[in-house]
Amino acid sequence: MTKTSSLPQDTFLTHTGRNPSRYAGYVNPPIFRGSTILAESLEAWEAAQHSGNPYGNYGRFGSPTISAFEDAIAELEGGYRTQVFPSGLSACTHTLLALLEQGDHVLITDNVYGPTRSFADEILPRYGIRVDYFDPLIGDGIRQLIEPRTRVVYLESPGSQSFEVCDVPLLSEIAHAAGALVVIDNSWASPLYFKPFEHGADVSIQAATKYILGHSDALLGTVTSNVHAWDRLQKRFQQFGETAGPEDVYLGLRGLRTLGVRLRQHSESALSLTQAMSRHPAVMHVMYPALPDDPGHALWKRDFTGASGLFSFILGSEDRAVISRFFGALQHFGIGLSWGGFESLALPVGRPKRTASTWQYGGTLIRVHAGLENPQDLIKDMCNALDQAQACIEQASQQQDAA
Ligand X SMILES: *Cc1c(COP(=O)(O)O)cnc(C)c1O
Interacting stretch for ligand X, rule CB under 6 A, among 1-9, 84-92, 173-181, 360-368? 84-92
Binders in 181-240 for ligand X, by CB under 6 A: 185, 187, 207, 209-210, 219, 221
Residues in the chain: 403
**Is residue 60 annotated as part of the catalytic site, yes or no?**
yes
113 is catalytic: yes
Nearest residue to ligand X on Cβ basis: 88
Residue from 66, 108, 110, 113 touching ligand X (CB under 6 A): that is 113
Number of residues that bind ligand X (CB under 6 A): 15
Contacts of 153 (CB under 8 A, 6+ apart): 106, 107, 142, 171, 172, 175, 180, 181, 182, 183
The residue (of 104 and 185) whose beta carbon lies closer to ligand X is: 185
Q: Which stretch binds ligand X (CB under 6 A): 82-90, 128-136, 229-237, 254-262?
A: 82-90
Report the alpha-carbon distance of residue 231 to residue 252 in Å, rounded.
25
Binding region for ligand X (CB under 6 A) out of 74-82, 88-96, 121-129, 135-143 = 88-96
Q: Is 29 in the site for ligand X (CB under 6 A)?
A: no
The nearer residue to ligand X, 112 or 175, going by C-beta atoms, is: 112
HEC sequence for 272-323 = HHHHHHHCCCCEEEEECCCCCCCCCHHHHHHHCCCCCCEEEEEECCCCHHHH
Smallest gap from residue 160 Cβ to ligand X (A): 5
Residue 86 CB, shortest distance to ligand X, in Å, is: 8
Rounded to the nearest 5 degrees, what angle is found at the Cα of 135, between the Cα atoms of 132 and 136? 115
| CA angle in degrees (0–180, nearest 5) for 343-318-396 | 110
Q: Is 309 in the site for ligand X (CB under 6 A)?
A: no
Q: Judged by CB under 6 A, does residue 88 bind ligand X?
A: yes
Q: Is 84 exposed, middle or buried (0-12, 13-18, 19+ CB in 10 A)?
A: buried
Amino acid at 175: A
| Residues within the interface to ligand X (CB under 6 A) | 87-89, 92, 113, 156, 160, 185, 187, 207, 209-210, 219, 221, 338
